Amino acid sequence: MLAVAALAGIAVWQAPAASASVPLQYTTNRYVGSAVAASYLASEPDYRAVLTREFDNVTPENEMKWGTIEAVRGQYDWSGADAIVRYAQQHHKTVRGHTLVWHSQLPDWVAALPADELRRVLRDHITTEVKRYKGKIRAWDVVNEIFNEDGTRRDTVFRQKLGDGFVADVFRWAHAADPHATLYINDYNIEGLNPKSDAVYELVKTLRKQGVPIGGVGIQAHLSTQYGFPDGYRANLARFAKLGVDAAITEADVRIPTPPDAAKLATQASYFGELWDGCQSVRRCVEFTTWGFTDRHSWVPDVFPGEGAACLFDENLRPKPAYFRINP
């Protein structure tokens, strides 16, 4: 399905004009999703058409984060989140809620609160948001990125003022607001076996023993071909499953040095393939979601200069080799 042309002696990948494959959502019994932005859904018909065709789950990129929902205390903006949920209902897709508690994209007014008030406001925030979408959200990323690379706890405002026990509390509050949603801890660089994934494993194990209603581990899977594929990926998925929780690939993309060429895209395809195959091999890996599906709107170039082209579709919404690797 790939065409390679010779240009100045360099192999250059040429995207097919259109996909002849079955849409991704029909290739597996896992949820297959993408992060989406409400503005692109509203303004770009081609973006909306590919999303609708290929995926059966959507994750709001920013529309459900605290900094968007309540940037000013007491002033709520549900417009973007409502639009995505409404789109999902209209097109029979599930929604992954992202994210309830995160140290980033947090309004300044929240961080300035004293401990007692912060606890009350945090509970109100979780209860208000989860109840608003009760029965409409399949899974929630309840706590996001709470560990450092060495496995120690990130020193966030929540930990500083509420202690480590806040993690159990927020899961209980979210469960009380919607008992049917699956509740996840979500983090990056926990794809393989390493100190950070060990810390997540031990926390989930402890929370489960305490009866905390944590139902899943979200593995972001922001990868780069400049580093080796994570060691122990499948074993890591399997050990989380043995704890009695689901696993999900929640934000997958694979960045490459730009500009892309055939060799770089082939390596990218192999990384996506390993992520996909590993998830398929573990029964409790229930979801494969990418962080956006088109290079047109990828976050990668702004954060990693010199890298990009991280998605399954190029800027013109043409499927790339990685798409065909997971959907032959």
Cα angle 193-141-133, degrees, rounded to a multiple of 5: 160
Active site residue 61: no
| Whole-angstrom distance, CA of residue 150 vs CA of residue 196 | 6
86 φ, ψ (degrees, to nearest 5): -65, -45
Q: Which two tokens stand for residue 287?
A: 């979801």
Of the residues 145, 191, 274, 287, only one is catalytic, namely 145
From the candidates 63, 251, 274, 287, give the one annotated as an active-site residue. Answer: 251
Task: Write the CB contacts of 274 (distance below 8 Å, at least 6 apart in sequence).
Answer: 229, 233
Q: Is the separation of the CB atoms in 130 and 181 below 8 Å?
A: yes
- 145 is an active site residue: yes
Angle at 288 between CA 282 and CA 294, to 5 degrees: 155
Residues involved in catalysis: 145, 251
